Structure 1
Amino acid sequence: MRRKVYTKDQILKAAYEVVEGEGFSGFTARNIAKKMGISTQPIYLEFKNMGDLKNTLLDEICNHLYYDVFPEVRTGDTIIDLGLNYVYFAKEQNNLYNALYVQEYGGGKKMHDFSYKYFRQLVSEHPKYSKLDENHINALHVGSWITVTGIATLMSSGIISPTQDEIVHLLNRAIENVLEKEDTSVLDSL
Structure 2
Amino acid sequence: MPAKSKYQAQDVIDAAFQIVRTHGVEKCSARAIAGEMKSSTMPIYSCIKSMKELEEAIVKKAIDLLIQYQIQERTGISVLDMGIGYILFAKNEKQLFRMLFFTEAAQKDMDLSKRMRDYAISVSMDKLDKFSPLDELSYKQKMDILYKMWTFNHGIAVMLNNAIIEDLSEDQIIRILMDTGLYIMTGVRDRDELYKQDVVRELFNRAGLNREHS
TM-score after normalising by structure 2:
0.68
Give the 3-state SS of the residue equivalent to 2:75 in structure 1: coil
Deviation at 1:16, TM superposition (A): 0.9
Aligned residue number for residue 183 of structure 2? 173
Within the candidate set 157, 166, 188, 1:160 is matched to 166
How many Å apart are 1:32 and its aligned residue? 2.1
- The Cα shift of 1:179 comes to 4.9
Provide the secondary structure at the position in 2 that maps to 1:76.
coil
Kept after mapping to 1: 8 A contact 2:74/2:81: yes
The alignment's C-alpha RMSD in Å is 3.1
**CA deviation after TM superposition for structure 1 residue 14, in Å:** 0.8
Pair 1:143-2:148 in alignment: yes
Which structure 1 residue ranges, 5 or more long, are not aligned?
A: none
Larger RCO, structure (CA 8 Å, separation 6 or more):
1
- Percent sequence identity is 22
**Contact 1:123-1:137 at 8 Å conserved across structures:** yes
Structure-to-structure mapping, 1:84-123, within 5 angstroms:
84-106=84-106, 108-109=112-113, 110-123=115-128
Q: 1:160 to 1:41 in 2, by over 3 A?
A: same
SS of residue paired to 2:132: coil
Seen in structure 2, the aligned counterparts of structure 1 residues 75 and 26 have a Cα distance that, compared at 3 Å, is same
Higher helix share: 2
Larger gyration radius, structure 1 or structure 2: 2
- 2:37 corresponding residue in structure 1: 36
| Cα distance change on mapping 1:38 and 1:86 into 2, 3 Å | same
Structure 2 unpaired stretches of 5+: 193-210
Q: Deviations over 1:131-159 (max 9, x none)?
A: 76554454333322211111122223331
Q: Distance in 2 between matches of 1:8 and 1:99?
A: 21
TM-score by length of 1: 0.75
